[in-house]
Chains A and B, each alone.
Chain A
Amino acid sequence: MEAQKDTNLATRPEETSGRVVSIKKQGTVSNTKRIDRSFRQIRAENVFRRTLVIVALSMVVLVLGIMLTLIWQSTLSIRSSGVGYLWGKVWDPVRDIYGAYPYILGTLLTSFLALVISIPFSFAVGVFLGEYYPKGWMSDLLKNTVELIAAVPSVIYGFWALAVLVPIVRDFETKIGVEPVGLGIFSSSLILAVMVIPYAASLGRSMIQMVPANLKEAAYSLGATRWEVIRFVIFPYTRSGLFAGILLSLGRALGETMAVTMVIGNTSLIPKNIFSPGNTMASVIANEFTEADHPVYLSALIELGLVLFLVTVVINMIGKKMISRFTND
């Protein structure tokens, strides 16, 4: 259609002017050129639009592919262990018994412990940047430094924890009288806590900044102190947003591999307390994947990956939904 319009526009001046034939001929030559070019551009435009659609479609295919690959590769294990896989207490590749309970427990313990440790700190950062000092060089400095915490590679956290944190934890364990191993769930929770602070903090900050000023001013005019405004206006208003931040941190903590693998101690025994060594789902995969020598073993490891994938996807989706609902209200 556009091509037709183009030709009409191009021919019109010649018809009205009514010049000699030679000029008209020249005109038709340039017209065909013009039509050619228009067609080429329309074709290019269609190709471009189609490419965009294909690219967007391939994102969907990519994620579906990831999920289907995980499901497909773990069918062997699902078939042999069934649902009992999730609460089977023994993981013994030699006898071909695969129960993921020790690893699921280890993952939950490290992640929740890390969250409990990190929440006061990330809330403090959120409140500091969102309410007390939203502007100024000091808050800029804090904001950027906290963001850098997320930038440090996890393998470096792991190495540092191995060299510095583990001996400190070992001394601490000797003092309180548990078996001094150093490596274990407590050490990995500590390093994990440092790593997940930025996620809840940055979300908390943006949520707290969104609290309408008139609500806060109303509370101040009733004689509330700063703390009372935070406690009775800001926290209730941002509750769902802060919770979403915690969920996103949890998603991070569950999937974190390297730092945890290096300091958790790697044993398939069920952890007795928070100081005993253990294993998380991600660290088992990292440690044993290349050593898995028979198909069922490999498939059992992939099933761990599938569980991890599904859990993190669900947690992230809930978190994202809560954020979008909060920002749309």
Chain B
Amino acid sequence: MTNHVKYRIGKSAAFKGLTIVLAFACVVPLIFILIYIIQAGITKINWHFLTNLPKPVGETGGGIANALVGSMIIILVASVIAIPFGILCGIYLSENRKSRLAYWSRLCVDILQGVPSIVIGIVAYFWLVKPLGTFSALSGSIALAIMMLPIIIRSTEETLKLLPDSLREAGFALGLPFHRVVLKVILPCGVSGILSGVMLSVARIAGETAPLLFTAFGNPYLSCNILKPMQSLPLLIFNYATSPYNDWHDLAWGASCILLIWVLALNIFTKVMTRKWKVQL
């Protein structure tokens, strides 16, 4: 072998080594973050932490019950709004692939997917907070629902597109009307893909903070009224993490740990499910 060939082979091997090192280096920060947050947060979590309200500055202890309840309510309301809407829109897009409305609608879904979350927060502020005159959990839910929509619509459309036309045709041949073909034949066949899209979208919005800043706003007390300001986990983390008090930092670490575990569990669960159902997302 000449030196030149050796040099080329060596270069190729070096590049392969570099690629492997760089590729695995990406994982390092994630692992650091996971370990750090879990170490800092896990010791703060106990029954008292989960069931009590945050204490004022200067008093140790206190919990994040209001944020947990608030997050649940806000996400639940957002899901109730976004899921039916998103699935219906996905059905339209997969049933009318070529129509002009479908083209524009698809374009808008694409646009919506790229809109920065803070901009959605601003818009929700003008649509709901200003007319109602107060910050409210409902406005936060609507902002989050707008963020969920593109993910649900996309996954529904992609799943339903993959179903064979013969299913639909068999339904029509039996004399079923359109809505029953869709609701009783097509949706049940695609339910796994749609469900994974829904779970993915919930995982995505569970950690969103920016749209809640000017909508749900946060609330130091426990509140279940969706027309009033409400605390949520990401908001609590942001407010307490940027505060100068150590007690509040401790609360924020505990809350971060819970939020992280929650979001990662949802993601991993979705992954496992999609693999089991053999869904392509």
Using CB atoms and an 8 Å cutoff, list the residues of chain A in contact with chain B. 41-42, 44-45, 47-49, 51-53, 55-60, 62-66, 69-70, 73, 120-125, 127-129, 132, 142, 144-149, 151-160, 162-164, 194, 197, 201, 225-228, 230, 251, 254-258, 262, 282, 285-286, 289-290, 302, 305, 308-309, 312-313, 315-317, 320
Cβ–Cβ contact B122 & A305, under 8 A:
yes
State the CA gap A153–B232 with chains docked (Å): 13
Chain A residues, CB < 8 A from B89: 52, 55-56, 59
Chain A contacts for B15, CB-based, 8 A: 226-227, 230
**How far apart sit A254 and B119, CA to CA, in the bound complex (Å)?**
12
B188 at the interface (CB under 8 A from A): no
Q: Is B109 an interface residue (CB 8 A)?
A: yes
Complex Cα spacing A230 to B8, Å: 13
Q: How far is the CA of A87 from the CA of B210 in the complex (A)?
A: 26
The answer to whether A155 and B104 have CB atoms under 8 Å apart is no
Q: Are B108 and A194 in contact (CB under 8 A)?
A: no
10 pairs of A and B residues whose beta carbons are closest in the complex: A153-B207, A255-B116, A316-B114, A124-B22, A48-B179, A225-B12, A227-B12, A128-B23, A63-B108, A52-B92
Once the chains bind, are B8 and A225 in contact (CB under 8 Å)?
A: yes
B110 to A316, Cβ gap below 8 A? yes
Instruction: List residues of chain B with CB within 8 A of the CB of A148.
Output: 30, 264, 267-268
Q: How far is the CA of A182 from the CA of B89 in the complex (A)?
A: 47
CB-CB nearest in chain A for B235:
A155
Least Cβ–Cβ distance between A293 and chain B, in angstroms: 14
Interface hub of A44, A52, A69, A256 (most chain B Cβ within 10 A): A52
A142-B24, A160-B33 known; A63+B116 contact, CB < 8 A:
no
Report the nearest B residue to A229, measured CB to CB: B12
When chains A and B are docked, how far (Å) is the Cα of A256 from the Cα of B108? 20
Contacts of B238 in A (CB 8 A): 155, 158, 258, 262
B167 within 8 A of A: no
Chain A residues with CB under 8 Å of B93's CB are 56
| Bound-state Cα–Cα, A320 to B217, Å | 34
B177–A41 contact, CB under 8 A? yes
Chain A residues in 8 Å Cβ range of B120: 66
Cβ-Cβ contact count across A and B, 8 Å cutoff: 247
A121/B23 in contact, CB under 8 A = yes
CA distance A247 to B95 in the complex (A): 31
B249 to chain A, nearest CB (A): 8
Q: Which residue of B lies closest to A141 (CB)?
A: B27
Among B85, B117, B177, B268, point to the contact of A42 (Cβ < 8 A).
B177
Q: Is B242 an interface residue (CB 8 A)?
A: yes
Q: Is B208's CB under 8 angstroms from A153's CB? A: yes
Interfacial residues of chain B within 135-153, with CB under 8 A of chain A in the complex: 146, 149, 153
- In the complex, A123→B33 CA distance in Å? 22
CA distance in complex: A305, B126 (Å): 13
Q: List the B side residues contacting A312 at CB < 8 Å.
A: 114-116
A152 with B178: CB separation less than 8 A: no
Cβ-defined contact, A257 with B264, below 8 A: no
Please measure, in the bound complex, the distance between the C-alpha atom of A152 and the C-alpha atom of B237, giving whole angstroms. Answer: 14
Task: For the complex, give the distance between the alpha carbons of A44 and B123 in Å.
Answer: 35
Name the one of A59, A122, A305 contacting B109, with C-beta atoms under 8 angstroms: A59
Closest to B91 in A: A52
Bound-complex Cα distance A262 to B88 (A): 38
Contacts of A53 in B (CB 8 A): 92, 101
Contact A45 B179 (CB under 8 A): yes
Contact A127 B19 (CB under 8 A): yes
How many angstroms from the CA of A5 to the CA of B115 in the assembled complex? Answer: 50
**In whole angstroms, how far apart are the Cα atoms of A202 and B97 in the complex?**
26
Name the CB-closest residue of B to A125. B23
**B1-25 vs A, Cβ < 8 Å mask (1 yes, 0 no):** 0000000110110011011111111
| A201: chain B residues within 8 A (beta carbon) | 26
Q: Mark B97-128, 1 if CB is under 8 A from A, else 0.
A: 00001101100111111111111101101110
- List, in ascending order, chain B residues with CB within 8 A of A62's CB: 108, 112, 146, 149
Tell me which residues across on chain A come within 8 A of B210, comparing CB atoms: 154, 257-258, 282, 286
Chain A residues within 8 Å of B12, by CB: 225-228
Q: Per a CB cutoff under 8 Å, which of A153, A156, A289 touches B214?
A: A289
